[in-house]
Chain A
């Protein structure tokens, strides 16, 4: 099966006209850390506001979000040991109506960078979701089994109710690979190419 990038490739010439809807500015916000759960809660309510304005909500756990050429995103935690993975708004828009999301079992096994950790099915196509970095799946977003269309609505939302795909454990190698991925600005340029 094709990666998301592959599935999108042919539409690229036309797709160029679509700018990603996500506003990467949020991602460029200064680093924060969270010390209390209350702060987290207030952050969630702000995120909901963001959703209405169609902005990309900032990550709760992560400090930075990076993107792959296959159109996955990954947030890495401050301690660089855990992450959240999803597909980009650009990819979600290009895939069209997502009708099924194949989630990986939390098998306890490490997945190498670029290997499939799941799949997204739209009316149009089936696309692999590939691991942006070497990682171990700890949680899959069960909401997507019931409501796969969440991916179309809020693909870059890593909160409960968001379209994130999996939460993962990341090791040193994975963290190093993370550093090599595109940041929001670079990704925006990449999809505009």
Chain B
């Protein structure tokens, strides 16, 4: 018999589920690698009081008190509401940075496999910080060029300590002219869902044609507040972490009183949109939404030992960087891009999606083929949209093709599973016409 305490010690995943359902799983495990929250007092985002006043269940996540869900909606309801209308997520636990200076692009091209000097101003994309030597992923991040030699970078809250040490060391080794500012005390909220654009357009105090403001674009703007005044300038990026159209709005705490302005802007959004169109949503819905969208959660689907090729993120490496290399771990990553069958190094494992019969597969579940272990599940959830159990995980190269039938072991029993293309639900980004 396993006592609660014994289970907790034996498996980090269980420890996570103790501390708030699976959701905070993310928190505790992600923190395990960065040790940012244990033992320290939890921090509060600018919206803490707002969350509590709105019936949020607060849980520890990435060193913060974060809302996991609100009393008004169940997790599944909140999930559906986001896909049908729009939800507002507090993501202020994420870490915002500015890298500025003549050598900023060169630095980012050293630590990530993407191109930055050629990226259009006010646009951004997903990339990864990489470990030298191994090409393992330090963290996944969105980098946006916001000036001639200025880049706005958002990293995972749970990786704060690790990333800080990494960036500090890398800047030291790099030696070029780069100023790095961490925007502590800032606010960041995500407005997500099909009604996001109409809602945002109603609170914009700046004239922006949202029809031509595409996925990956960023703009500086002001928002209307309830009392008729405007916010200080905020940074609005089109994108998000749900697979829906949406926006992330950043309130820079280094330049402005973000702890006040974030709350006022959120109140304005909620009031303007009304409860029929916009609800607050927490980490719970965020997790099931991102999983349906096939997006990785660092600390689960990605870690220090995973390379972008194994993680199915080869697309972040553009042709010029494949040719020239010059980023951390290129000596490992570039040969992996060519499969073994074509004379390259290939990879041993790949991140793929699964649909699992019966019980939902959760993180840590073993993937088997003909009774032999061929991989591990890294995230799983009953998909509220599809009514099926979806999961992602790493499977042996060769078994990664969609349609491959495998077994996933949940509570000692094999469950039939099929390798499935991701995203599980179609992405609805507002993209520029091709």
Contacts and interface: CB of A to CB of B under 8 A. Distances in A.
A14 B68 CA distance: 11
A10 B66 CA distance: 12
Contact of B57 (A3, A6, A14, A126): A14
B60 A10 contact: yes
A190 to B, nearest CB: 15
A123 interface: yes
A43 interface: no
Most buried by A among B19, B79, B381, B382: B382
A119 interface: yes
A124 to B, nearest CB: 4
Nearest to A3: B4
A100 B57 contact: no
Contacts of B4: 2-3, 5-6
Contacts of A11: 20-21, 57, 59, 68
Most buried by A among B24, B79, B358, B411: B411
A96 B76 contact: yes
B304 to A, nearest CB: 26
Contacts of B7: 1-2, 6
B18 interface: yes
Interface in B336-362: 358-360, 362
Given A11-B57, A114-B3, A126 B22 contact: yes
A1 B362 CA distance: 10
A7 interface: yes
B178 interface: no
Contact of B284 (A2, A99, A124): A124
B14 interface: yes
Contacts of B69: 96
Most buried by B among A5, A125, A127: A125
A96 B288 CA distance: 14
A138 to B, nearest CB: 21
Most buried by A among B21, B24, B362, B381: B21
A1 B411 contact: yes
A96 B76 CA distance: 8
Contact of B382 (A99, A116, A127): A99
Nearest to B11: A1
The secondary-structure label for the interface of chain B is mixed
B1 A114 contact: yes
Contact of B22 (A5, A13, A116, A124): A124
Contacts of B389: 100
Given A100-B359, A125-B17, A125-B22, A10 B59 contact: yes
A97 interface: yes
Interface residues of B, number: 37
A100 B59 contact: no
Contacts of A9: 18-20
Contacts of A116: 2, 411
Given A11-B57, A97-B75, A119 B360 contact: no
Nearest to B25: A125
Most buried by B among A6, A7, A114, A123: A123
Interface in A120-143: 121-127
B132 interface: no
Interface in A97-127: 97, 99-100, 102, 112, 114-116, 119, 121-127
Given A10-B60, A123-B75, A123-B384, A102 B411 contact: yes
A10 B19 CA distance: 4
Interface string B15-37: 00111111110000000000000
A78 interface: no
Contacts of A13: 58
A191 interface: no
Given A121-B360, A121-B382, A2 B17 contact: yes
Nearest to B22: A125
A99 B1 contact: no
Given A6-B18, A97-B384, A112-B1, 20 more contacts: A2-B7, A3-B4, A7-B17, A9-B19, A9-B20, A10-B18, A10-B24, A10-B60, A13-B58, A97-B74, A97-B75, A119-B411, A121-B359, A122-B382, A123-B76, A123-B284, A124-B75, A126-B17, A126-B22, A126-B362
Interface of A: 1-3, 5-7, 9-11, 13-15, 95-97, 99-100, 102, 112, 114-116, 119, 121-127
27 contacts: A1-B7, A1-B17, A6-B4, A6-B8, A6-B17, A6-B18, A10-B60, A11-B57, A13-B58, A95-B21, A96-B21, A96-B74, A97-B74, A97-B75, A97-B76, A97-B384, A99-B382, A100-B359, A102-B359, A102-B411, A112-B1, A114-B1, A121-B382, A123-B288, A124-B23, A124-B284, A126-B360
Query: Across chains A and B, which 6 residue pairs bring their CB atoms closest together, nearest first?
Result: A10-B20, A124-B21, A125-B21, A99-B382, A10-B19, A6-B18
